[in-house]
Structure 1
């Protein structure tokens, strides 16, 4: 599990106009930290520092230590608002995490051993339907990603959420809802001629 550190300042002024001024004049963005039975805290984060961290795909499934007034708060990112047409971040939401309490996090799905599968040898290709899945775990068990092993994948086969290999203490959230929620994550198809 990777951890990242992000510097922040307490934001005193709230509202749409204050947030616009913050983005335009200070090259910063507004953010909120909530959860863990504490009051939400409004923060200001340097835009470029956060943008740089978001370029690493592991950032979204990692613990983020936010340093505020000399004190670090352990969080995960829950929402990130982006400008629709420019590479600009607009707002970030972080959720506090407490050791021992279960959290819900979206993590990437990696498909492994495709080249070794019988489907690949027969000229097949894996068509991925899902590349991110929500997992439930404690912060200390948070994986950077989960995997689907394609070693035995055959042509025409569907792979489901139940085929995802998760580390100990990690559970795919949708599978808690029953067999009806065991959706397909990939399909092995023959290549078109």
Structure 2
């Protein structure tokens, strides 16, 4: 289960670009807490602490307790905006949730048993179509990852969501199709040989047959020779 995080914050009275820029110059990150039929709460966080949590790799699928103004609010991070040049966080959105609310979270995929894949052993390459899955689960039981077992997979095989054992108590947020998680593709050398063989086969089929009708130019030459 994903761990619960705690962030200390301060409420902010002023909004707008000017106020937000001033906060960022002081090493603070503007944020907002919304949802659960309550008024939005404007806050700001310490950038260094936020960056440390972002670097854990599971910030977006963790419950974050926001401690602001003497009150603690249970939230789920929904969006982090970054500066286009510096990659520093410039704004964060948090969604209020109850302790056992049903939430939709993006959970990272962990591929295992690559050495037990005949296709990969023969030089095949794992093509990860998705690196995370959107799951619906209890807010108190958010999984750290989704395990996808590659044992027994061969070149040309595709792994679909129906073949994946999801963590207990979770379901896929996408239910209208059996989408692809990953494929095992042939190495480039094998693909090149196959392409050359196909091209050679096509070239052989293009050889003119003995009973082909001569072109107009050929027919005129033959008539002139007679």
- Same-fold status (TM-score > 0.5): yes
1:58-98 Cα shifts (integer Å, max 9, x gaps): 22211111111232211111000001121311000011121
CA contact (8 A) 2:101 2:139 kept: yes
Q: Is residue 30–residue 45 contact of structure 2 (8 Å, CA) maintained in 1?
A: yes
Distance in structure 2 (CA, Å) of the matches to 1:76 and 1:101: 11
Query: Partners in 1 of 2:168 and 2:125 — Cα distance?
Result: 30
Alpha carbons 2:74, 2:99 under 8 Å: kept: no
> How many residue pairs get matched?
188
1:29 Cα deviation after fit: 1.1
Instruction: Give SS of 2:116's match.
Output: coil
1:20 aligns with 2:16: no
Q: Greater helix share, 1 or 2?
A: 2
- Residue 152 (structure 1) aligned with residue 148 (structure 2): no
Name the structure where strand makes up a greater proportion of residues.
Answer: 1
C-alpha contact 1:23 1:29 (8 A) present in aligned 2 = yes
Alpha-carbon distance between aligned partners in 1 of 2:162 and 2:61, rounded to the nearest angstrom: 20
1:182 equivalent to 2:178? Answer yes
Structure 1 residue runs of 4 or more that deviate by more than 4 Å after TM superposition: none
Which is greater in Rg?
Answer: 2
Unaligned stretches of 5+ residues in structure 1: none
Uncovered stretches (5+) of structure 2, i.e. residues with no partner:
190-226
Higher relative contact order, structure no. (Cα contacts within 8 Å, ≥ 6 residues apart): 1
Residue of structure 2 equivalent to 1:96: 96
RMSD in angstroms over aligned alpha carbons?
1.4
Structure 1 CA distance for aligned equivalents of residues 72 and 30 of structure 2: 18
Q: Distance in 2 between matches of 1:60 and 1:115?
A: 30
